[in-house]
A and B are shown apart, each in its own frame.
Chain A
Amino acid sequence: MGYSLFQEELNIINIGTSIFKDDLDVQRASSVQFSWKPPAGGSPALLQALDRVAEWEQIEAANRLAVQRIREAHPYLVDMGTALTSIPGMEPDLILHAGPPIAWKDMCGPMQGAIIGALLFEEKARNEAEARELAASGAVRFAPCNEYAAVGPMAGIISPSMPVHIIENREHGNKAYCTVNEGLGKVLRFGAFSGEVISRLNWIRDVFAPAIKRGLAESGGIDLKAITAQALHMGDECHNRNKAATSLFYKEISGHLLAAGLDGEGLRDTLAFIRNNDHYFLNLSMPACKAALDAGHGVEYSTIVTTMARNGVEFGIRVSGMQKDEWFTFAANKVQGLLFPGYTVDDAAPDLGDSAITETMGIGGFAMGGAPAIVQFVGGTVEDAVGYSAQMYEICAAENPQFTIPNLDFRGSALGIDIRKVLETGILPVINTGMAHQEAGVGQIGAGIVHPPQQCFEQALLAYASRYDGKE
């Protein structure tokens, strides 16, 4: 029995009360204070589940495989299409929305507003009252974008006639879909449905989308992974800041549009629409992440999160090793951050939108440390932002060497949120996000930081443990 301890210098981790650490400091002993808190919120059932799954050897290999698939996915923007004909399973009376499943009567104001707008756009209703009646009648079906290989920011509404970006993951062959970002102000995704909103949607359908479709045909596909990687070195985190990525995309698409022979007013307006919208790339960043994460879903035994999404009422997550459309949901939190002048916290709707797909992919809030310009907007310091990003390694299975963060010495961003690690550490994923006004159509009223409710991860772990218990 070799007690080499007596020959070594003591290096102590003090877990619990800091009184002991203080006296180790007095003795100049090398030590670290571990400010412990009960894992899994102190719930015996969860602790038991954590301990049980800790013994399952298949998990590590499963998570490695899931993360490898996510990392190796290579999304390209290949085409524009119409939702009904492009999205598999889309139907004439189906409307897709952000977040986990929700019934019309339970939806938040902005989501109902956006659905009203979509029914006006689809010419299924002539006014708000008719639209509300139709939506409540059951004649229109609602389902999460995420269940149809799609994602949408804020309300995330996709109706059958809407044009969608078509993203192809050329590594694994799956596709993902997202609408065109309308810009800021009165826009459908914040629940606005006035005339100007509908005419913009019409213009996107009639002028913008066909133009982009021609340009893309010329391009042979635009490499979204490459643009994201570069933008991360240019101060974007590709969720709340897409200035650099949009510029890079503009540089690419403009050449293709010219090469496709576009000219005149159509070309001018199309280019101006992208140029004037710093968030254009958000609707490419999101489906690119979606394409990669869908490739990582369905790995038996994997505890990696493949979706985080909010519908303005509930936050939902999906886990790779669970069923395709199995959601773990809980009441969404309110976003903490900076409000535009004239608004208060009470004006804000709870957390909304599919855009947390970017954090699920290890960018957005996870890469905030590399996006100093956004930090003030979300109400913190650069140090806070670097700290948030660094903390995310604690709850992730891996790092992504293809998405590196300059401020963290080009360390790869944290990738592959592991539900076990979230519960073990009590550290929740950090999400950068916009705040929507709770009333339809008012629009964005601020931006900040939000966390998923821990209960989503708790439910997921319990369901996971019972699904695989006895199989291992």
Chain B
Amino acid sequence: MSSADAAGDRKDVRVPALAPDCDLTRLDLSPQEGFLLSRIDGHTPKDLLSQLAGLPPHDVDLCLARWAEAGVVVWSKAGPPATERVNGASATRAGAPPRLEANASSPEGESAAAATEAGSPAVASDLPALDPGLDIPEEAQQAILDFHERLERPYAEILGVASDADARAVKRAYFQLSKEFHPDRWFRRDIGPFKEPLERIFRKVVEAYELMSDPTVRAEMERSLGADAEAAPVEGADSADPKAASERAERRRKRALSPFSPLGRLIAKRKAKAKSFFEAAMAAVSDERWLEAAASLRLAVAYDPKSALYRERFGEVQAQAHEIRFAQLMKEADSALSFRDRKDALRIYEEALIFRPYDPEANHVAAKLAWLAADDLHRAKEYAMRAVEADPDKAEYHRGLGQIYAAAGLKANARRELKTALRLDPRDLEAKQALKSL
């Protein structure tokens, strides 16, 4: 995301953020959409969101546009159009205002490459500016800022060792970095806003150390890394050559997804998890334990959203599971009604509607129960309308809606619905009577 490749393939670096004080519960979202929404943190730019959520960029665009319209999401000031240049690291270094910008695309200058392509937009956003008033020397502050920018690099680079370094070298590097970046170094000192980035650095160093000294992880990394294992070339020199720039972009992409990088490592881990859930689900399917299978598949999809296979099977199994649950609940509701427990029946119907929101009969009955058992005409109207919407040719449903309108005192609406009911079924006595009493 450096300015270098902004010239070649222009990336969308706009940053969506959640609107403050916005009630998210009123949105009706699919789990995938919910997941996408949950990834919006005000720092992560749009194109990275699509990667994180595992959704095609087009879908992400659509969702974001919809949410922006609904006022849930706002585009943060950070980096509207990708071409706009904002303060880069070099500016901050001179003591400029704090960097709020999420993904500073640094202008030319010596620090361009180092500062931007490594600095993860997700975490680089809240870095503080140097502050001589703090109880920590400015050189140490600068060291924290500099190191923080490298946190998204491959683990070996974070530790400053070769990717094939032995356990002893890895440990030495870890100890050395701990001496510098363990929070205890500044125990009881006022290090102000540097506390959070410092802890982040130390946690990342521990993570790098743990993974690089785990022999099974190392073996896996080396297997899948193959030919890319060469150390990444230093870059940032000749941004004029577009071909070189696009090659660099490709290398960078590969590196970001390589098992050495935190992101690549994360994806590999999630994929393995997804697979184990998928296997559990398939076992459940063969035993016709549909509810269990659906739950496992849902997790498989959540962990590996890109797998078409998981999605497809999830769709099928979930439909099956929902049918089963719906049928179970209908039975329960019948039994509740046979005991004349209408309140309980309403509760069960409402639960059933979670699984088949547009079932006309269930909505129709739920409407009646909401009206008669809970005295909630508003809710009753919602259900009755949905029944009518789902099956507009059924006189009974129009009559039901009409009766609820009548009870609510909305006479014009009531007449319209009752008349429709009579048009569909001229022998509907109940509708006739209701119309008469209006």
A, B in one complex = no
Task: Please report A residues at the B interface, Cβ cutoff 8 Å.
Answer: none
